[in-house]
Amino acid sequence: MTGTPAAQIFARGPKGNRFKAQPLVPHRDDTASDGVLSKGLASGAVGTVSGAILGIACVAPGYTLTASVGLIVAAVGLKMPAIFVFGFIPMFLTAFAYRELNADSPDCGASFTWSTKAFGPYVGWMCGWGMVIATVIVLSNLAAVAVQFFYLLLAGMFDSPGIAALGANRWVDIASTLVFIAGATWVSSRGIQTSERVQGLLVCFQMTVILGFGVAAIVGAIRGHGPANLSFNLGWFDPFSGLAMGAFVIGVTGSIFSFWGWDTCLTLGEECTDPKKVPGRAGVLCVVSILLTYLLVSVAMMMYAGVGSEGPGLGNPDNSENVFGALARPVLGPWGSQLLFVGILASTLSSLQTTFLPASRCMLAMGAYRAFPQRFSAVSPRFQVPLFSTIAAAVASGAFYTLARLLSERTLLDTIAALGMLVCWYYGITAFACMWYFRKELFRSLRNVAFKFVCPLLGGMMLLLVFAVSVHESMDPRHGSGASIAGVGLVFYLGFGILLLGVVLMVVMRVRQPGFFLGHTLTPSTPALTDDAAVATASQPDAGPDEHR
Question: pLDDT (tens digit, 9 = 90+) per residue, 172-205?
Answer: 989 999 999 999 898 888 765 555 677 678 788 8
- Total structural domains in the chain? 1
Is the residue at 486 inside a domain? no
297 belongs to a structural domain: yes
Q: What is the pTM of this model?
A: 0.81
Cα dihedral value 457, 460, 462, 468, nearest 10: -140
- 488 found inside a domain: no
In a domain, 450, yes or no: no
Q: pLDDT confidence of 74, banded at 50, 70, 90?
A: confident
- Count Cβ atoms within 10 A of the Cβ of residue 473 and give its class: 0-12 exposed, 13-18 middle, 19 or more buried: buried
Q: Which helix (H) or strand (E) holds 37?
A: strand 37-38
Alpha-carbon torsion 143, 148, 152, 158, what sign?
positive
Q: What is the pLDDT of residue 263?
A: 64
Highest mean pLDDT among 54-58, 380-384, 451-455: 451-455
Question: Does residue 74 or residue 224 have the better pLDDT?
Answer: 224
Nearest Cα residue to 58 out of 156, 158, 135: 135
What's the CATH number where 292 sits? 1.20.1740.10
Across 303-325, average pLDDT:
84
Instruction: Classify residue 206: in a domain, yes or no.
Output: yes
**CB contact at 8 A, 338 and 194:** no
Whether 36 is in a domain gets the answer: no
535 pLDDT tier (thresholds 50, 70, 90): very low
Q: What percent of the chain has pLDDT over 70?
A: 82
- Residue 173 falls inside a structural domain: yes
Domain containing 235 equals 48-360+387-413
pLDDT band at 4 (very low <50, low <70, confident <90, very high): very low
Contacts of 187 (CB under 8 A, 6+ apart): 194, 195, 198, 353
Mean pLDDT, the chain, whole residue set: 81
39 occurs within a structural domain: no
Higher pLDDT, 494 or 280: 494
Query: Residue 427's pLDDT is what?
Result: 93
User: What pLDDT shows up at residue 278?
Assistant: 78
- What confidence score (pLDDT) does residue 70 get? 80
Determine the pLDDT at residue 517.
Answer: 96
Closest by alpha carbon to 259, among 419, 474, 77, 97? 419
